[in-house]
Copies of this chain bind each other. A is one copy, B any other.
């Protein structure tokens, strides 16, 4: 396993990174990426074991509902790309079980790749979303054939890949890209039916990142994101060579949706687990700031806290129900029930903006206007600011200010905006999330109940 320091060192591998229009030579000296890398490094250190056979427990999949229940909190707590590494490995294993039957060679490659990735303790990100071009047209009819990532050349020893993958959180800090089709491909679209693993430092890979990282030199009024932040990367595959051993799908259109679908199983679990923690955090912030303001006994404040409580509880209920009704893949890997995770995730995303409104309504305008740490350290104005920011006697002015900072940082600044968007977009937008939930629902049972209520079934007795 790697230590945090070894991880940071591994980033100096020639990868081509851009941010804000300039190229990044040394991630540890780039203020907009450095802290994200440090977060990943801290998680490396957290799991590190010097045992040469040790493997990160995150990538050891649960094999029973009880193991799953223990595993879930972990998923909600590690950095983003440690999560995606787990999801990638689970996705590959799930897909391998099916691909293997028809194409044993592809299956073998996947299993070997997974073993190697675990051993090397690398970080992997999932690359799904393509540029997509004109959304009204399928991949093969696009004015620019590269709008969807595709194979532009086949050689004996591998393929050459061209395209772009968007919204790849953390790609610039990972080791490998797990590339898969963004949608089901049809016969005639074989060049787009492509899954493979690509090291980020492969020639032709160019990464352009954006980030909600605070830009302030003194970022102490960003108590959360100064330590936990992650850029999003626009990954360009500009004629990248991929050797055969790393190709997991190459024109088998019948399996083109398999990888993205399998990924869904594993992605949602972590997503809902994280959402449940975040929802509890919103409740806690609401209650703490109400107390700091001295308003925690006001009826309308309590009502809004209650709404936050119910929101958080329903998300967790979905997670718990999903674990209780977990299922196993053919290989015995246990995953949560899809209906419950989807419904919980949808509810969490759908109601989130309203819950943020409740939090802001409880907290007050100082969410925006609380002075910075530097302000309160200033000798001339600091004591006056603390004097006038003193609320309820039970909380110091500084603690109150820091709570306002946290609320702004988490919900009313760059990261807050990132959260608003990713909440609805992860999982493909609310529309897609509704479709998926409907798909997993037992509609026949519901129809039978309805027919009974309508007297269209024989038995009407209790």
Contacts and interface: CB of A to CB of B under 8 A. Distances in A.
A368 B164 CA distance: 16
A305 B441 CA distance: 11
A255 interface: no
Interface string A305-319: 111011011101110
A60 B305 CA distance: 38
A399 interface: yes
A127 interface: no
A339 B380 CA distance: 45
A353 interface: yes
Interface in A403-424: 403, 405-406, 408, 410-414, 416-418, 420-422, 424
Given A280-B446, A370-B210, A295 B129 contact: no
A346 to B, nearest CB: 6
Contacts of A412: 417-418, 420-421
A6 interface: no
Q: Which of A232, A302, A435, A454 has the most CB of B within 10 A?
A: A454
A150 to B, nearest CB: 13
A164 B381 CA distance: 12
Interface stretch (A118-126, A189-197, A283-291): A283-291
A440 B366 CA distance: 29
A20 B375 contact: yes
A317 B343 contact: yes
Interface in A13-57: 18, 20-23, 39, 42-43, 46
A146 interface: yes
Interface residues of A, number: 159
B381 A236 contact: yes
Contacts of A135: 293-295, 391-392
Given A39-B462, A294-B135, A453 B369 contact: no
Interface in A152-191: 163-164, 166-167
A300 interface: yes
A200 interface: no
Given A216-B215, A424-B361, A446-B283, A42 B320 contact: no
B306 A437 contact: yes
A59 interface: no
A356 interface: yes
Contact of A453 (B285, B364, B389, B421): B285
Nearest to A236: B384
Interface stretch (A85-93, A243-251, A425-433): A425-433
Nearest to A293: B135
Contacts of A167: 365-366, 368-369
Interface in A427-453: 429-431, 434-435, 437-438, 441, 443, 445-451, 453
A14 to B, nearest CB: 15
A224 interface: yes
A430 B298 CA distance: 14
A166 B223 contact: no
Contacts of A283: 441, 443, 446, 450
Q: Which of A132, A302, A412, A435 has the most CB of B within 10 A?
A: A412
Contact of A306 (B163, B232, B438): B438
A10 interface: no
A27 to B, nearest CB: 17
Contacts of A43: 462
Contact of A280 (B310, B391, B445): B445
Which 9 A-B pairs give the minimum distances between C-beta atoms? Answer: A21-B374, A284-B450, A412-B417, A406-B454, A223-B455, A284-B446, A215-B215, A320-B321, A299-B299
25 contacts: A21-B377, A42-B462, A46-B462, A134-B294, A135-B391, A136-B392, A146-B387, A206-B381, A208-B381, A208-B385, A224-B454, A234-B371, A238-B384, A280-B446, A281-B449, A299-B299, A303-B431, A306-B438, A317-B344, A324-B324, A356-B420, A357-B424, A368-B417, A368-B418, A414-B414
